[in-house]
Structure 1
Amino acid sequence: MASNMRFGFSFRMVAIIVLVLTIVLPTSTLAAEDDSDFSLTIMHMNDTHAHVEPLPRMLTAVKEVRADNPEALLLHAGDVFSGTLYFNQFHGKADLALLNLMDFDAMVFGNHEFDLGSGEDGHESLSEFVAEAQFPFLGTNIDFSGDPFMASYISENVFSDSPDNGSVYDGIIKEVNGEQVGIFGLTTEDTANISSPVNVQFLNYIEEAERAVAAFEEQGVDKIIALNHIGYDSTPDIGNDLQLAASVDGIDVIVGGHSHTRLDEPVVVSTDENGAEKDPTVIVQAHQYAQLLGKLDVNFDENGVVVGYEGQLIDINEKEADPEAEEVLSSYKEEVDELTNQETGAVAMKDIPNPRLGDSDVSVRANETELGNLITDAMLAKAREKNPEVVIAMQNGGGIRAAIDEGPITVGEVIAVLPFGNDPVVAELTGAEIKEILEHSVRQAPAESGGFLQVAGMKFNYDSTKEPGSRIVTMEVEVEGEYEDIDLDQTYLVTTNNFTGKGGDGFEVFAQAYDEGRVRDIGEIDWEQLRDYMVEDLGGVVDPVIEGRITDLLGEEPEAPEKPEEDNDGTPDEEGQEDGGDTGEGTDNNGSNDGSGDGENTDEDTDKVGSEDEEDKVDSEEKNGQETSEDNNNEAGSGNESNQEEGERLPDTATNMYTFLLLGALVLITGVGVLVYRKVKTS
C-alpha cells in the first residue's frame, strides 16, 4: 500500500511538473541552435485503425516533408489493425499496400495488432502483415517465442544497425546525416487484458526500456527514440509515456500512441520521478485515424542532449491525394463500398451517436448510452433464442466503435459499430461475481474506461465518490417485466462477447469462469446479432432511449419511496409503489434497497419497484397487489395504509392533541419563571 501511495504521489508530481513545463517552455527552442548541433526530423502517426481512405493524402504530406528534408524519419506508433470494414475484409493487407508506399523506418506493435489471435489459434494474419511489410518492426518488451506464426520473424540480431524489412527487433540503429539514432519500441502490457495475444507475452516496460537504452549506449549511440504504444498519460497502474520519461534516463524523444492523444505541441519532461533535474525528453503523439501527420524537429548538442525542438501536426485533409496511392486503394475500395452500401432493412429513426467525453457530456465508456442499450438488447434477445434462461447482457464500451446515422442502416454501419468480430458467449455467474464485475466496470468512473459495461436485462446504481471496489450500491435483474434484487448466492446466465468473457479489459472474474468451463460460445457473430435484432425483433424501426439502467449516485443516497415502504411481512404497499423513487431520466433508484447504500440484499428487503416509467409502475402495483393478496394492507381504499406506517406516524388527532399539551406546558413554565423573577427582584 505504501509503495502504491508513493507511486501515485510520484506520478502526480510528474504530471504537475509536466504541466508547468508545457506552460513555461516555448513550443519551439530551435532559435538557440548552435552550428555544432545535430538536427533530426521525425514524422509520425499512430492509431490509424484501418482508416485506409485518408492514406493517399497522408502520402502526399510525407512526400512534402521529405522534399525539404530527405533524411527525415517516418515512424508508426501502432494500431493499424481493427476499426473499419477494410480490416474486416482484408486483415491489414489494404493498409499495408498503402503503408508500403511511404517508406517507413519502423513500426511498433499496437495492442489491436493482436485482436485476431484467439480466432486464428495464433497470429496468422499478423505474421502475413509482417512478412509483406517493407519496413522493420519493434517489439522490445514482447516475447513472440510461444506463437507458432510469429516466432520465425524475430531477428537474432536484437539491436541491429542494418535491419531487414519484415523482421522484428528489440531495437534498430539508423544513420541520419552521419549520426547514429537508436530506436526501440514498447507495447502496453495491458495488451494481455484488452486484446487476444494468446501465447504472446508482454514484459515490464520500464525494465525493457532500461535494457534498450543500455544496449544503445554500449554501441556509442546517444540519441535515442522510444516508439511507444503505451499511452501518453493513461493507465498509471500499467504505465505510460509520462512515467517512462521520468523513470528512465537517456530517452531523448518519445513518439507515442494508444491513448489517441492529440498533442498539438510537444511536451517536455525534464525532471525525474523524484523531482530532480534530468536531461529533457520530448513527447509527441498525433491523435488517430490517419487524420494528422506529426512532424518534430529536434536539435541535439555534441553530447546527444536535446537543446531545441519544434513540433506541429499537419492536417492531411488539406492535401491532395497521391495518384499512385489512389490507384492502389481503388482495388480494395470497390469491394468495401459494395458491402458498406448494402442496406440491412432496418431504419434508424434518429442519429444514434457513439459519444466520448470531450465531444459530449456522456461517453459509451462512462455512461449508459442509447447505442449501448441497443447493442445489449440485441445480445440478450439473440442469446435467449439459444437459451431462454439468459437474463443479462454486458458489452464493453471499448468494443463499440462507431455511431449509426439517421435513416436506412447499412451493413457497413453495423460492422463499423462492432468491428472486432468478437463471438458472443454465455457465462454462468453468481450474483456475487456479477457485483465484482460491475465494480471493475465502474472502477475508473467518472473517467472513461474501455471496460465500462453497457447492460441489458438489469440495472444498477453505483457511487463514483466511493473507493474503487466498493462502489456498487444496488443491482437488479429483470424477471418477467419487473426488477428484483440480484441474489449474491444465486447463479445467473450472462451473455457477453468472447473478448470480455475470456477476461479482456482485466475482468478476472470472467477469466476465472472461462478457466472453470463456465463460459460457452453460442455460435453467433456479434454484428450479425445486432443486424438481425434490428430487422427481426424491432421490425426495422430502431429508436433506442436511455432507460436508467446505469446511474451514478455521485455521493447521494438512492431515492427511496416515501414511508411506508413495506408491511411487516415484507410486502410492498400501494403508496410505496406510487412513490417509487424516480430520480429523473426514467431512472428508479429505489433499487430494492433499504437506503443504507451498502448494496447488500436481505430477506426482508424484496421490494420489486424498479420500472422505468409511470406505466410500468402502475403495472408493478397491480402485479404486486395480486401476488400478495393475503395482505389486505395492499388493497386500495382499505383504510389501513400499512402496519409500518402506523408504527412510525401518529394519527392527525393525536398529533394535534400532543401539540396543544406541549404549548400549554411551555406557557405554564414561562409564567412560573416570570413570577419567580419578580419575587426575587422585590425582595
Structure 2
Amino acid sequence: MVNPLLENQVFRRINVIKSTRNVLLTGLVAALSACGGDGGDPLSVTLLHMNDHHSHLDAETTTLKLPDASGATQSVTLPLGGFARVAAAIQEEAAGSKNVLKLHAGDALTGDLYFTQSDGEADAVAMNTVCFDAMAIGNHEFDSGDSGLAKFINFLHKDPAKCKTPVIAANIKTASSSPIAGKFSPFTLVERGGQKIGIVGITIANKTKNASRPDATTVIADEVTSAQQTIDALRLQGVNKIILLSHAGYEMDVKTLAPKLDGVDVIVGGDSHSLLGPDTLKAVGLTPEGPYATQLQDKSGQKVCIVQAWQYSYAIGKLNVDFDKYGNVSACNGQPMILVSDSYKDSKTGTSAASSTADAAAYTAALKQVGAFRFTTPLAATTTALKPFSDAKTALGAVKVGSANDNLCLRRVPGIGAKSDTTRSKLGDVCNKDATVVSQGGNIQQLVAQAFLDQGQRFGGADLSLQNGGGVRIDIAKGDITVGKVYELLPFKNVLVRISMTGQQVKDSLEDGVDSMLGNNGGTGSGAYPYTAGLRFDVDITKAKGSRISNLEIYKNSAWANFDLAGTYKVVTNDFTAGGGDNYLTLKGIDKSLKENTFLDYADSFLAYVKAKITLDKPAVSTYSTKTYKE
C-alpha cells in the first residue's frame, strides 16, 4: 500500500500547482520526463494479469473446433480455466521472467455460488495464493455496497504478513464514515530493476454509479480527469513509468483513456470481458475483440500498450514491455494464455474425442498453433486452500433441478455492431453467430424474463416482465441444470418488484434501456438492454431516443395484440432496475406507492421455473421481446 505521507505530499503539491497555473505543471512534467525521471536506464518488465473472474474459481469446459489426425474438424470439449490454473500459470511464467508484476483489473466478486456462500472470502483466499501486486476496484465490488467491499478487502488482507495486495482506484472518493475509507489508495508504487513504477487504478464511473450499489456518499469521479491528475502527481515525484489498471472496458481504454491521457504507458484492462488475441482463434471457434496487445498513442504521441485477459479465470495475459531511458515504451509484445488441459471429450457423447493417440496429438498441435492456449496443471496449494469452500459449494450446488435440451445462449444485445457484445458467450461462435441470437438476442435472457413473468402471475398477478440483459450472467449449456448453475446465472441478491405502470411509461422504460445500452446520458452499456416477456417490439438504434422502440405488442388471451400506451399494466422487474439501476430513470421516477416488493428472490424465481418445466428449450421465435433490431 502507498505510504500515506507520500500520498498526501503528492496531492498537496499538485493542488498548489493547479491553483497557480496549469502551464507550469505541464512544463515541470515535460522536464522531468525529458530527464528520464528516477531511472535513467532502459528497463524491461513482464506483466502477468487477469480480470473479471467473478467468483468463478472452479474449472469449467469449452467446446472448440479442432482437426483430428485425418484433418476432419471435430467439436471437442476440454477443461477450461479455474483459479488453480490461474495461480499455476502465473507462478510458472513468473519463475521464467524478470521484473514481474502481477495485476488484477477488478470484478473479483459476484457470479458463482462461491460468492453467494462466502461473500468474497473464497475469492480472497484464492487470490492470496497468487498475491497480486495491485488490484483495481471493479463495479461489481460494490454490489453489496461499501460494506460488502470492505468485507472483501478485510478478507484479502487477513494475513498481511503473507500478502497484502494494494487495492487501488484514483477516481473513487469516500466519506470518512464509509466502511472502505482508508482501505484503498489512488495508486501504488512498486520497484523493479531499481526503478519505480506507478500503478494507477481506475473504476468505470457511470456504470458503477448506475449499475451497482456504492453508498450514496461515495463519489465515482470522471475517469480521464482522475487518471491524469494522479499520473501528473506521480511524474512530479520522478516516476516516469505508468501502468493504468483500468476497470473501464476495452472501448473506453482504446477510444478515451489512451488518446486523452498524457504519460500513460500501459493500460491493463477489465470490465468488458474482452478476449484479445490473434485471428487464428477464429479457426477454433473463438473471435477476438482486438489484438493482444492493442498498440496506440497517448495524447503526446507516445506508445501505449492495451491488454485484457477475457473472463471467469479462463485466461491470464502475459505482456512484455520495454521502456527506454526516458521511461517511454519502446516495444511491447505478448499473448493471452487461455488455460486448458489435454483431456479431450466428444461434445455430443461426452466420451473421449481421441480415438487414437494421433487424434489427441492433432488436437494439441492445433491449439499450440493458435498461439493463445496454455496447457496448465492446477496449482495444488490453491486447490487445497479452496477445499473447504468447494466442499460447501458442492453440497448445495450439485442438486439437479432440471435440464436444457439445447444450448441456451448468453447475448446482451442483438446485432453484429460495436454495441452488440458479440464475444461474451463462453460457448463461443456456436452462440455468438447463432442466427436467432444475432437477430433477437440471448435465449437465456428471454427465458429469465419469462420465468419472472410466470412468478409474478402466480403471486399477485402480472401483465409483463422487464429484465436488464446484464443481470443474466452465463450461458446454460445443453445438459443438466443444477442449483449451482442457477445461482451462477443469477448471482445478485435481487428480489422481484411489481409496478403499476402506464403503457407510455413502459415504452419510455424500454427507451431508457436502449439509450443506456448505447452509452448516452450516463448510460451503463450493453447490460442495460431490455428483455421482456409478454411484450414484444421493434428496435432501431439509428433513431433518436423516443423513436427507437416501435410496434409494441402485448400477449393477451393467447394472442398478440396492439399495446395500449394509455392503458395500465402490472410489470414485474427486479429491484435493481426498479430503483433506476442501469439508468432506467422512468422506473426510478414512479411513485413508491405504485411499487410492491414481492420479496421473491430472483434466482429462486428462476429455480422454481426450472423445477416446474423440468426441461428447458429455446424460446419460440415469436416470443422474443426484440422482434427486429436495426443498427
Report the TM range for the smaller structure's normalisation: 0.7 to 0.9
Distance change (3 Å), C-alpha of 1:83 and 1:295: same
Once the two structures are TM-superposed, the CA of residue 231 in structure 1 deviates from its matched residue by: 0.6
In structure 2, how many angstroms separate the alpha carbons of the residues matched to 1:319 and 1:62?
A: 10
Partner of 2:355: none
Distance change (3 Å), C-alpha of 1:549 and 1:406: closer
Residue 197 (structure 1) aligned with residue 202 (structure 2): no
In structure 2, how many angstroms separate the alpha carbons of the residues matched to 1:349 and 1:104?
A: 41
Deviations 1:629-658 (A, max 9, x none): xxxxxxxxxxxxxxxxxxxxxxxxxxxxxx
Residue 349 (structure 1) aligned with residue 440 (structure 2): no
Letter in 1 for 2:212: S
In structure 2, how many angstroms separate the alpha carbons of the residues matched to 1:526 and 1:364?
A: 23
Partners of 2:276 and 2:310 within 8 A in 1: yes
Partners of 1:365 and 1:453 within 8 A in 2: no
Q: Which structure exhibits the higher relative contact order, with contacts defined as CA atoms closer than 8 Å and separated by 6 or more residues?
A: 2
Partners of 1:268 and 1:281 within 8 A in 2: yes
* 1:380 corresponds to which of 453, 476, 497: 453
* 1:251 corresponds to which of 264, 289, 304: 264
Once the two structures are TM-superposed, the CA of residue 361 in structure 1 deviates from its matched residue by: 3.2
Partner of 1:46: 51
Partners of 1:400 and 1:417 within 8 A in 2: yes
In structure 1, how many angstroms separate the alpha carbons of the residues matched to 2:572 and 2:241?
A: 51
Residue 37 (structure 1) aligned with residue 42 (structure 2): yes
* 2:139 corresponds to which of 111, 120, 142: 111
Once the two structures are TM-superposed, the CA of residue 100 in structure 1 deviates from its matched residue by: 0.6
Deviations 1:505-549 (A, max 9, x none): 121112222x6553332111111111212324x3x3433433243
Deviations 1:222-248 (A, max 9, x none): 111111000111xxxxx4443111111
Distance change (3 Å), C-alpha of 1:245 and 1:214: same
Partners of 1:348 and 1:407 within 8 A in 2: yes
Residue 270 (structure 1) aligned with residue 300 (structure 2): no
Once the two structures are TM-superposed, the CA of residue 386 in structure 1 deviates from its matched residue by: 2.5
Secondary structure in 2 aligned to 1:169?
coil
Once the two structures are TM-superposed, the CA of residue 467 in structure 1 deviates from its matched residue by: 3.4
Letter in 1 for 2:185: Y
Q: State the 4+ residue runs in structure 1 displaced beyond 6 angstroms.
A: 363-366, 444-448
Partner of 1:286: 309
Partners of 1:373 and 1:546 within 8 A in 2: no
Distance change (3 Å), C-alpha of 1:195 and 1:444: closer
* 2:621 corresponds to which of 546, 549, 552: 546
Partner of 1:505: 582
* 2:603 corresponds to which of 521, 527, 535: 527
Partners of 1:110 and 1:229 within 8 A in 2: yes
Letter in 2 for 1:376: A
Partner of 1:652: none
Secondary structure in 2 aligned to 1:522?
strand
Partner of 2:173: 143
Partners of 1:340 and 1:412 within 8 A in 2: yes
In structure 2, how many angstroms separate the alpha carbons of the residues matched to 1:445 and 1:78?
A: 21
Letter in 1 for 2:48: M
Secondary structure in 2 aligned to 1:524?
strand
Residue 330 (structure 1) aligned with residue 371 (structure 2): no
In structure 1, how many angstroms separate the alpha carbons of the residues matched to 2:225 and 2:391?
A: 46
Partners of 2:253 and 2:269 within 8 A in 1: no
Q: TM-score, normalised by structure 2?
A: 0.73
In structure 2, how many angstroms separate the alpha carbons of the residues matched to 1:282 and 1:251?
A: 9
In structure 1, how many angstroms separate the alpha carbons of the residues matched to 2:309 and 2:320?
A: 15
Distance change (3 Å), C-alpha of 1:542 and 1:147: farther
Partner of 2:108: 80
Residue 428 (structure 1) aligned with residue 500 (structure 2): yes
Matches within 5 A, 1:376-415: 376-388=449-461, 390-415=462-487
Distance change (3 Å), C-alpha of 1:452 and 1:542: same
Deviations 1:389-446 (A, max 9, x none): x211011111112233444432112112212232111122221121111123334889
* 2:198 corresponds to which of 175, 182, 188: 182
Once the two structures are TM-superposed, the CA of residue 179 in structure 1 deviates from its matched residue by: 0.4
Partner of 2:367: none
Distance change (3 Å), C-alpha of 1:250 and 1:340: same
In structure 2, how many angstroms separate the alpha carbons of the residues matched to 1:315 and 1:123?
A: 29
- Give the total of aligned pairs: 493
Runs of at least 5 residues in structure 2 that lack an aligned partner in the other structure: 1-39, 59-81, 278-291, 341-374, 412-420, 424-428, 520-524
In structure 2, how many angstroms separate the alpha carbons of the residues matched to 1:354 and 1:461?
A: 20
Distance change (3 Å), C-alpha of 1:96 and 1:511: same
Partners of 2:315 and 2:337 within 8 A in 1: yes
Secondary structure in 2 aligned to 1:509?
helix
Greater displacement, 64-73 / 46-55 = 64-73
Distance change (3 Å), C-alpha of 1:271 and 1:79: closer
**Structure whose residues are more often strand by fraction:** 2
In structure 1, how many angstroms separate the alpha carbons of the residues matched to 2:155 and 2:452?
A: 32
Greater displacement, 476-485 / 241-250 = 476-485
Residue 56 (structure 1) aligned with residue 98 (structure 2): no
Letter in 2 for 1:526: Y
Q: Which protein has the larger Cα radius of gyration, Structure 1 or Structure 2?
A: 1
In structure 1, how many angstroms separate the alpha carbons of the residues matched to 2:43 and 2:248?
A: 28
Partners of 2:516 and 2:528 within 8 A in 1: no
Once the two structures are TM-superposed, the CA of residue 369 in structure 1 deviates from its matched residue by: 4.0
Computed over aligned residues only, the root mean square deviation of the Cα atoms, in angstroms, reads: 2.7
Partners of 2:125 and 2:155 within 8 A in 1: no
In structure 2, how many angstroms separate the alpha carbons of the residues matched to 1:137 and 1:369?
A: 34
Greater displacement, 185-194 / 289-298 = 289-298
Partners of 2:169 and 2:202 within 8 A in 1: yes
Once the two structures are TM-superposed, the CA of residue 366 in structure 1 deviates from its matched residue by: 7.6
Once the two structures are TM-superposed, the CA of residue 125 in structure 1 deviates from its matched residue by: 3.6
Secondary structure in 1 aligned to 2:302?
strand
Letter in 1 for 2:317: G
Once the two structures are TM-superposed, the CA of residue 79 in structure 1 deviates from its matched residue by: 0.6
Once the two structures are TM-superposed, the CA of residue 250 in structure 1 deviates from its matched residue by: 0.6
In structure 2, how many angstroms separate the alpha carbons of the residues matched to 1:371 and 1:96?
A: 30
Secondary structure in 1 aligned to 2:267?
strand
* 1:71 corresponds to which of 99, 104, 107: 99
Letter in 1 for 2:171: N
Deviations 1:576-629 (A, max 9, x none): xxxxxxxxxxxxxxxxxxxxxxxxxxxxxxxxxxxxxxxxxxxxxxxxxxxxxx
Partners of 1:210 and 1:248 within 8 A in 2: yes
Partner of 2:118: 90
Partners of 1:365 and 1:449 within 8 A in 2: no
In structure 1, how many angstroms separate the alpha carbons of the residues matched to 2:620 and 2:387?
A: 39
Deviations 1:149-207 (A, max 9, x none): 222xx2xxxxxxxxxxxx31111111111101111100001211111223222001111
Secondary structure in 1 aligned to 2:560?
strand
Partners of 1:48 and 1:290 within 8 A in 2: yes
